[in-house]
Amino acid sequence: MDQTLVDRMRTYLDAGLAMDVEALDALYDPAFENVRCDEEGLTVTLTKDMFMNRFRALKAQGRNVGESVDDATFLATGAFGAYGWIVVHRVKDGLPVLYTFVWQRDPRGGWGTLLREFTYEKDISHLVRLMERAAP
User: What number is the average pLDDT over the span 86-108?
Assistant: 93
Give the closest residue to 29 by CA, choosing from 113, 118, 99: 113
pLDDT 10s digits, 38-64: 999 999 999 999 888 888 888 888 777
Domain around 97: 3-134
Residue 130 pLDDT grade (very low, low, confident, very high; cuts 50, 70, 90): confident
Higher-confidence residue: 57 or 66? 57
Q: For residue 132, what pLDDT is reported? A: 81
Question: What is the pTM assigned to this prediction?
Answer: 0.91
State the sign of the Cα–Cα–Cα–Cα dihedral 1, 10, 90, 37: negative
| CATH code, domain carrying 106 | 3.10.450.50
- Domains held by the chain: number: 1
